[in-house]
Amino acid sequence: MHVGLNLVFLVPGETGGMETAARETLPALFAAAPPDMRFTAFVSRDAGDGPWRDVETVVVPVSSRRRSEWVRGEQQHLPRLAARSGVDLVHSFASTAPLRGRFVRVVTVHDLIFRHMPEVHGRLGARAMGFLVPQAIRRCRRVIAVSQATRDDIVASLGTPREKIDVVYQGHGLAIAANPVSEIELRSRFELGERRVLLALSAKLPHKNLAVLLDALAGLDERPLLVLAGYPTPHERELRAHAAALGLSEDVRWPGWLSAPELEGFWAITAGFVFPSLYEGFGVPPLEAMSRGVPVACSNTSALPEIVDGAAILFNPRDPDAVAGAIRRLLAGGEEIERLREAGRRRAGEFTWERTARGLLASYLRALESTPSSR
């Protein structure tokens, strides 16, 4: 089997959880594949270095920093380049897929947020995703959902036959870095002083609900220093203004995309991890925290309860008082926090990239063995 890997979306440092999934899945996929399976990675000009360079790589002549170019590369160039490479199957990792081509197609769908919260993508982006994702789901031989919640959403929202969808969980995020930045250096570099640290890790996007997290922080009598890490977006300006209006200018740090050693240093010193997102198809950041024994508080919505499965404090993400209450429990320590540390490590240990790779390979085989869906 010759498998094409559609990674045209990938822009290192700017693609969030989908980049993490690609970086961690591919080495496990290459290791788990049978000896007669060959891979070709299709990337844009922005892909940089990564495990996709460990196999034959074809550069699609677009810059994926613009969504329109990503779509053009995927729809216009990829079918021709994949045919030229002689692939049997193309697996698209980022919810959209080429809508034509004689090769078998498989798509991983991370979520349907464009339907539930179209403002996340903007008016034009939501319209484009509202066309491309359902079309990819219809035209691909198999659909891979990253959680049971995402599969249920696809079935309920689009009428896709359940039997066409394979649930393949992702792993628990980035591997533990061997060279974390020391606490002394980290506190100096990010001006943390001697304060207790609370970590939140996500893109600065409206559905990540960071404004409510700021509201919750403002309601605490004893405030930790909140570190809002994740790649910046235009929405960050609104968040900074909101923090200033709440009198939190000295209580929040705004690092962008952290290096692996920096992030590992933060995992080591944080008192807890808070994830107030309104909608997640999976939820890698809580698992990254749990795998390191960091206690987690997260939203009780979408896929998150399924993923943490009792190993985190759950809260209503639309209620600042509920979020503040969860933070107080994180900071209180004691038996509950020790239980969460232990339960979190156990739960995160169930989500390995090796299991992800085995699930993908099984889906590829089903795609090649099955007849095309009528939907």
The pTM assigned to this predicted structure is 0.90
Model pLDDT, residue 135: 96
> How far is CA 366 from each of CA 35, 38, 370, rounded to the nearest angstrom?
19, 17, 6
Model pLDDT, residue 374: 40
Residue 314 and residue 364 in one domain = no
Q: Is residue 363 part of a domain?
A: yes
Domain that residue 129 falls in? 2-171+352-369
Residue among 173, 199, 226, 220 nearest 294 (CA): 199
Distance CA 224, CA 199 (A): 10
Residue 26 and residue 154 in one domain = yes
Helix, strand, or coil (residue 89) = strand
Contact present, 173 and 284 (Cβ < 8 Å): yes
Contact present, 203 and 231 (Cβ < 8 Å): yes
For 197, residues 6+ apart whose C-beta sits below 8 A from its C-beta are 224, 225, 227, 266, 269, 270, 271
Q: Is residue 216 part of a domain?
A: yes
Residue 91 and residue 195 in one domain = no
Residue 221 and residue 342 in one domain = yes
Domains in the chain, number: 2
Q: Is residue 138 part of a domain?
A: yes
Distance CA 124, CA 145 (A): 25
Q: Is residue 130 part of a domain?
A: yes
As to burial, measured by CB atoms within 10 angstroms (0-12 exposed, 13-18 middle, 19+ buried), residue 219 is middle
Nearest-5° Cα angle at 3, 360 to 371 = 70
Model pLDDT, residue 67: 82
Q: Is the dihedral of CA 301, 304, 306, 310 positive or negative?
A: negative
Positions of E strands within the chain: 2-7, 38-43, 56-59, 89-92, 104-109, 142-145, 165-167, 197-201, 225-229, 252-253, 270-275, 296-299, 313-315
Report the CATH number that the domain containing residue 224 is assigned in CATH.
3.40.50.2000
For 193, residues 6+ apart whose C-beta sits below 8 A from its C-beta are 187, 225
Distance CA 191, CA 189 (A): 6
Residue 155 and residue 300 in one domain = no
pLDDT in tens, the chain (375 residues): 999 999 999 987 777 778 888 889 999 999 999 999 999 999 999 998 999 999 999 999 999 888 889 899 999 999 999 999 999 999 999 999 999 999 999 999 999 998 888 877 777 778 889 999 999 999 999 999 999 999 999 999 999 999 999 999 999 877 787 799 999 999 999 999 999 999 999 889 899 999 999 999 999 999 999 999 988 888 999 999 999 999 999 999 999 888 889 999 999 999 999 999 999 999 999 999 999 999 999 999 999 999 999 999 999 999 999 999 999 999 999 999 999 999 999 999 999 999 999 999 999 999 999 755 443
Residue 359 and residue 294 in one domain = no
